[in-house]
């Protein structure tokens, strides 16, 4: 079932923190490993997006699902359908609407404003969640954390698109996104021993002395 040794370690760590999340993760790995199932990539992607969504449970916070893209597109779709109906009722068969309706413009403005704000807010929430997962201990460098937040969100989006059949799944792409999420979790759930950190500090000092 495992593609690499680290997955067994992560499964054990997740089981210690939250058995439900461990089950979700194990289910995704099993689905991915079933090469007799032509739909295995979509099923495993669904499990992995659930893994990401429920990691907040391990911080003690309640998982709350806010407005998603589908809900936010409802007023845009309604306004567009209303515009189409207006066009169909035009007096001549070749008539075209003189412009976009105010309702559609307002709906689009609201949607794009939400999209911009929501991405920034999601990034803040992701940063907080990953910080809480790590618990007390030496903090990771800020540039590493920033890259990890981006990788986490990109992987989440990828798994959602594959799970919903929006994007065609390629094995190597799915594995790369999975490895990214696993590595981020491992760095927080199984931090390096203090002795390793001391060795890293010593190497840094040697480099500074050499300069």
Cβ atoms within 10 Å, residue 150 = 13
Q: How confident is the model at residue 135 (pLDDT cuts 50, 70, 90)?
A: confident
Q: Which residue has the higher pLDDT, 53 or 85?
A: 53
Q: What is the mean pLDDT of residues 131-143?
A: 72
165-193 residue pLDDT tens: 999 999 999 999 999 999 999 998 876 55
Place of tokens 């075209």: 96
CB 174 within 8 A of CB 120: no
Question: What pTM value is reported for the model?
Answer: 0.66
Q: Which residue has the higher pLDDT, 22 or 99?
A: 22
pLDDT at 14 > cutoff 70: yes
Torsion of CA 119, 145, 184, 24, to 10 degrees: -30
**CA pair distance 160, 115, nearest whole angstrom:** 17
* Full 3-state SS string of 35-104: CCCCCHHHHHHHHHHHHHHHHHHHHCCCCCCCCCHHHHHHHHHHHHHHHHHHHHCCCCCCCCCCCCCHHH
């Amino acid at each position: 079932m495992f593609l690499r040794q680290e997955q067994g370690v992560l499964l054990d760590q997740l089981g210690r923190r939250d058995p439900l999340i461990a089950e979700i993760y194990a289910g995704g790995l099993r689905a991915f490993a079933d090469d007799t199932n032509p739909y295995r990539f979509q099923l495993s992607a669904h499990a992995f997006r659930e893994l990401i969504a429920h990691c907040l449970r391990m911080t003690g916070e309640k998982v709350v699902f806010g407005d998603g893209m589908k809900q936010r597109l409802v007023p845009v779709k309604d306004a567009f359908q209303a515009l189409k109906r207006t066009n169909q009722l035009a007096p001549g068969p070749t008539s075209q609407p003189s412009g976009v309706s105010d309702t559609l413009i307002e709906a689009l403005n609201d949607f794009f404003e939400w999209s911009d704000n929501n991405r920034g807010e999601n990034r803040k929430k992701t940063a907080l969640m990953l910080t809480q997962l790590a618990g007390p201990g030496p903090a990771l460098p800020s540039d590493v954390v920033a890259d990890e937040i981006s990788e986490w969100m990109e992987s989440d989006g990828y798994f959602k698109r594959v799970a919903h059949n929006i994007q065609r799944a390629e094995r190597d792409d799915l594995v790369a996104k999975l490895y990214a999420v696993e590595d981020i979790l491992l760095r927080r759930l199984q931090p390096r021993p203090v002795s390793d950190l001391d060795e890293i500090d010593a190497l840094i000092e040697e480099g500074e002395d050499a300069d």
